[in-house]
Amino acid sequence: MKNIRVLIFDCDGVMFDSRRSNISYYNHLLEQFDLPAMTKGQVAYVHAHAAVDSIRHIFEGTAFFEKAIAFAKDVDYSPFIREMIIEPGLIDLLGGLKPRLGLAVATNRSTTIQNVLKTFGLGPYFDIVVSSLDVKKPKPDPESLFKILNFFGITPLEALYVGDSVVDYETAHAAGVPFIAYKNPRLQADHHAEQMMDIAALLDAG
């Protein structure tokens, strides 16, 4: 941990409990085309994947994918942001780390991430935010992490990535970045954390 210079966060499932928000948003899209609500499998998928891929997944087998993409561009996402719950201890962790570490976000969110950060007052904490719109290939492709490493001019072993899904693990593994699994003890990882202060303790232990 002595060599760690940058801490990178996933958004959904780490910085926020956004499952209810995601369910409401994607079910809202389905409702516009008189389609049934998402299945459990679809809920798990949209939690970890980019919006375009998620819409393609939940509209698979229908004739509405292109129309759903067009409709989604005009949806006011603000009501769904209000359903998101910020992770307890996140602001304290960010405030404590900001003076000594670079901070970044690598997320499969697209147009919504900046509004989310602004709504919760988190924008000033992060040096760089990489969304699915900032890369050619979203997670689990490692491009987002490589972009962050290049921004700070560091090696993979000088960063830590905090995520909660298999997609996050695969992203970190492909980039060679050590991985912290957040609130997912079954997930393969270099370290596990159940609360934000566990991450602070890991860093302090170095």
Could you list the residue range(s) of the whole structural domain that residue 170 is in? 6-17+85-205
Type of residue at 53: D
- Report the C-alpha gap between 98 and 125 in whole angstroms: 7
Choose one of 81, 104, 124: the last residue of a domain: 81
- Report the C-alpha gap between 206 and 160 in whole angstroms: 13
The burial class, CB within 10 Å (0-12 / 13-18 / 19+), for 181 is buried
How does pLDDT run across 27-72, given as a tens digit for each residue?
A: 999 999 999 999 999 999 998 898 999 999 999 999 999 999 999 9
Q: Can you give the pLDDT at residue 27?
A: 98
Q: Can you give the pLDDT at residue 206?
A: 61
How does pLDDT run across 82-117, given as a tens digit for each residue?
A: 999 999 999 999 999 998 999 999 999 988 999 999
Percent of the chain surpassing pLDDT 90: 94
- If asked whether residues 115 and 165 sit together in one domain, one would say yes
CATH code for the domain of 97: 3.40.50.1000
- If asked whether residues 104 and 196 sit together in one domain, one would say yes
- If asked whether residues 56 and 108 sit together in one domain, one would say no
Asked if residue 154 is part of any domain, the answer here is: yes
Non-local (6+) Cβ contacts of 91 within 8 A are 121, 122
Q: Confidence band (pLDDT; 50, 70, 90) for 2?
A: confident
Choose one of 81, 102, 133: the last residue of a domain: 81
**Unique residue bearing structure tokens 């941990």:** 1
Q: Can you give the pLDDT at residue 106?
A: 98
Non-local (6+) Cβ contacts of 187 within 8 A are 164, 165, 166, 169, 181
User: CA Rg, the chain, in Å?
Assistant: 17
Q: Can you give the pLDDT at residue 99?
A: 86
Query: Could you count the other beta carbons within 10 Å of the beta carbon of residue 100?
Result: 9
- Report the C-alpha gap between 195 and 118 in whole angstroms: 23
- Cα of first residue to Cα of last residue in the chain, in angstroms, is 4
Nearest partner of 102 among 60, 187, 173, 160, judged by Cα: 160
Is the pLDDT assigned to residue 1 strictly greater than 80? no
How does pLDDT run across 140-172, given as a tens digit for each residue?
A: 999 999 999 999 999 999 999 999 999 999 999
Asked if residue 48 is part of any domain, the answer here is: yes
Q: Can you give the pLDDT at residue 88?
A: 97
- If asked whether residues 42 and 126 sit together in one domain, one would say no
